Structure 1
Amino acid sequence: MSLLNEVDDYLHAAPLSGATPEEVGPFTLFRSTSPWPYYARPRPGAERTIEAADLETLRKRCTELDLPLNLEWVVETCPSLSAAAAAAGLEVTEHPLLVLEQANFKPATADANCTILPAVESVLQEARAVANVAFGDPGTAVGRGGIEDRDAKAAEISPEMLKFLLDRAQAGYSVTAGAATADGLVASGVHQPVGKASEIVGVATLPAMRRQGFGAAVTSCLAEHAFAMGITLLLLSAESDAVAAVYERIGFRRIGHAGAAEVPDGE
C-alpha cells in the first residue's frame, strides 16, 4: 500500500469517533454526532471517476438531512473530484499534505513552556479559545488578537462544546499541546490518533504572538508525544505554502495535496 493510500485510509477512519457514516454513491457521508459538522469523502480504493451525477446525488442527500455540502479528500488518490466539484459550482481548494518520519524529526523549541495539556475542562477551554482567536485571523503574519481576545473567546465556548472536548480527550481521541508564557496559553494544537496513525490539526498561535516559533514548538511537542505512543504515520495538511514551510523546518515533507470543496458563501 502506498503512503498516500495509508493517509487516505486514516482520514476516512478519523471522523468515525464523531460521526455516523452513510454510503451515498461513491462517497461516505459522515453524519456528525458532535457539536460541529463533518463532510463527505470518496471511499478509499474505489478507483472510480467522480461525475457530476455523483455530486448531485450527494447534494440531494445533504439537503434531505439538512447538512452542509462539504467534501474532503486526498487529491492524488481521487484526481477526478477537483474538476467535478468545481463544475458542480463548489469552491475547491487544495492544501499541501505532509508527513513526518521519526528519523527526520527535528525538534523545535521556543521561549515558552510547551507541554501536553491535561484533560481538564478549564485547560482545554483556554486551548480552544487560542484556536478560535487565531483562525479568525488566519495566516502567519503578526496580528492584533492577544490575551484579552483569548479570554473573551473562552467565555463564549458553550458547555456542550466543553463537554465534547473533554470527552474526546478522556477517550484518547485527541491529545492537546500548548505553549504557555506568564500570561497563559499563547499557542495550541491537537493530534488525533487512530491505531498507528495520527494527524496534527488545529495548530494555532494568538496573532499578536506570531513569528516567535510557538507554532513549531507546539507541533514538535505533539510529534514527540505521537512517536512516544507508537505512532508510525504522522500527517498534517497546511493552510498554505508559508504554513507548510514552518512544518518542513521540523522535518515534515510534502507528499501530495488535501482537497476540500464547499458551497461558496452567499449561496
Structure 2
Amino acid sequence: MLGEGFSLFNLLRVVVDIALVWYVFYKLIMLLRGTKAIQLLKGIFVVFIIYLISYFLNLQTVQIMIEKVIIWGPLAIIILFQPELRRALEQIGRGSFFSRNRRSEEEIFNHSLEAIVKSCNYMAKRRIGALITIERETNMGDFIETGIQIHGQLTHQLLTNIFVPNTPLHDGAVIMRENQIVAAACYLPLSESPFISKELGTRHRAAIGISEVSDAITIIVSEETGHISLTKNGELYRNITEEKLVEILSKELAPSLEKPSSFKQWSFRGKNK
C-alpha cells in the first residue's frame, strides 16, 4: 500500500512538473508573438535540425560550427533581445505575466470596437455607404475569395478609406476576422425573403442574405439616409444608435471573459468629443 501511494505521488509530481514547464513555455511564446524574437525561435529550430542531420551523416565540420554557435548563442541572445527580456521580467515583477492573455484579448476587442464604431459614425454623418461583415464561427473563405484580399490591421482610418466613393474597393463588402480586415469588395448572397421592405437596397439585402447562411454579424451604413443598421441570424436591426451598436457588438463578439463596463463608458465618451 505504501509503495502504491508513493508511486502515485511521484506520478502526480511528474504531471505537475511537466504542466508547469509547458505553461511557462506557452506564456513565453505568447509574450514573444509578433516580435522579432519569434523569428529567433524559428532559427534555433532550423539550427537544431541541421545539427541532427550533420550528426547522422557524420559531417564533422558542420557539427563543430554548430557547437560553437550553441556555446556563444545564449550570450548573443541576451545582447540582441535585451528589450524583450526586460519586458518579460517587468511583467513578472508586476504580476502580469500570468494574466497577459486575458488583458490582451480585452485590449484587442476594445481597439476593434472603437475602430468600427468610429468608422461607422464618420461614414453615417457623411452618408458614405458601407457594408461590414464580421466573421464568427462560420468560415467566410468562399466569400473572401470573391473580393480583394487585404489582411490589414483594423483601424478606423483604413476601414473608412475603403468605402470612400469612386475608389477601387468601395463597392462590395468588407470582411473582418478578429482584428483584421481580411478582404474588401466582396460579394455577399442576396436574401430572397419576400418580407424585406421594398425601400431597402442591395446592401441591406446582402447583409440579410449573409446572416441567413452564416452566423456573421454585418453592419450597414446607408448612403441614402446615413442610418446604421445591423443583421445577425437572419434578423435586421434598422436605424440603431451608437449605444445600441456598441451593446450588440459587445454582447455578441466580446471575449468570453468578464464583460467590461468600459465599452459603454467609451461609447458615451466618444459621443461627447
TM-score range, shorter chain: under 0.3
Structure with higher helix content: 2
Structure with higher strand content: 1
Query: TM-score, with normalisation over the residues of structure 2?
Result: 0.24
- Higher CA-based Rg: 2
> RCO higher in 1 or 2 (8 Å CA, sep ≥ 6)?
1
